[in-house]
């Protein structure tokens, strides 16, 4: 049985409750970044780059059995860890579910500063791009 978007978010929130300090939290995100498979070089095209990030982030989506599957990569490891979590939450759901998703886990795990609209952090741009893919594939 595949988990709903909110079930996955709640699961991530629970995982983060185990961490006492910022370093444990970030080590976990860095580890997630290392574990994200990434994308083959030939798919890291200009079309797939998410604008507005200090580091380059590539995001691609494809439809499989009415569900959207995301692939992403970044040259910065923390960004890669954050995008890994976004993929875990959103990938494998229908475009409508993804479009409607309220991503409350980012705030609950204390990562909302990465949503700030500065040029240095691109999490907001990533979320936006995932929603744009969802809209396009509806």
Partner 1 sequence: METITDILNIQEIRADFPILDQEINGKKLVYFDNAATTQKPTPVINAIAHYYNFDNANIHRGIHTLAERATRDFEASRTAIRDFLGASSTEEIIFTSGTTQGINLVASTYGRKFINAGDEIIISGMEHHSNIVPWQMLCEEKGIVLKVIPVSDEGELDLEAFEKLLSEKVKLVSFNHVSNSLGTINPVKTIVDLAHKFGAKVLVDGAQATSHINIDVQALDVDFYVFSAHKLYGPTGMGVLYGKKDILNAMPPYMGGGEMIKEVTFEKTTYNELPYKFEAGTPNIADVVALKTALEYTDKLGRENIAAHENMLLNYATDQLREIEGLRIIGNAKNKISVLSFVIDGIHHQDIGVLLDNQGIAVRTGHHCTQPLMQRFNILGTSRASFAVYNTTEEIDRLVAGLHKTIKMLK
Active site positions, annotated: 53
Q: Containing H/E element for 59?
A: strand 57-64
Q: Which of residues 113 and 138 has its CB atom nearest to partner 1 in the complex?
A: 113
CB of 11 vs partner 1, minimal distance in Å: 24
CA distance 77 to 95: 27
Give me 26's structure tokens.
């970030």
Give me 60's structure tokens.
């691609």
Stretch that binds partner 1, among 44-52, 60-68, 69-77, 96-104 (CB under 8 A): 69-77
CA distance 9 to 102: 10
For position 22 contacting partner 1 by CB under 8 A, the verdict is yes
Give me 31's structure tokens.
């580890």
For position 28 contacting partner 1 by CB under 8 A, the verdict is no
Find the binder of partner 1 among 3, 12, 13, 30 (CB under 8 A). Answer: 30
CB of 27 vs partner 1, minimal distance in Å: 6
Stretch that binds partner 1, among 9-17, 37-45, 51-59, 86-94 (CB under 8 A): 51-59
Question: Residue 64 burial (CB < 10 Å; 0-12/13-18/19+)?
Answer: exposed
Stretch that binds partner 1, among 1-9, 19-27, 94-102, 128-136 (CB under 8 A): 19-27
**Nearest residue to 71 via CA among 55, 99, 48:** 48
Instruction: Compute φ and ψ for 93, nearest 5 degrees.
Output: -110, 165
Find the binder of partner 1 among 54, 66, 100, 112 (CB under 8 A). Answer: 54
Note the residues at the interface with partner 1 (CB under 8 A): 22-23, 26-27, 30, 54-56, 75-79, 120
């Amino acid at each position: 049985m595949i988990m709903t978007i909110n079930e996955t978010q709640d699961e991530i929130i629970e995982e983060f409750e185990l961490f006492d300090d910022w370093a444990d939290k970030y080590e976990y995100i860095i580890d997630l970044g290392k574990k994200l498979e990434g994308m083959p070089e030939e798919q890291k095209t200009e079309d797939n780059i998410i604008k507005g990030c200090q580091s380059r982030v590539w995001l691609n989506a494809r439809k499989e059995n009415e569900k959207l599957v995301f692939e992403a990569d970044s040259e910065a490891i923390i960004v890669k860890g954050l995008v890994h979590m976004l993929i875990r939450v959103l990938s494998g759901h229908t475009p409508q579910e993804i479009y409607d998703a309220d991503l409350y886990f980012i705030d609950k795990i204390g990562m909302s500063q990465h949503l700030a609209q500065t040029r240095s952090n691109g999490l907001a741009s990533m979320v936006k791009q995932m929603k744009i893919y969802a809209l396009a594939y509806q």
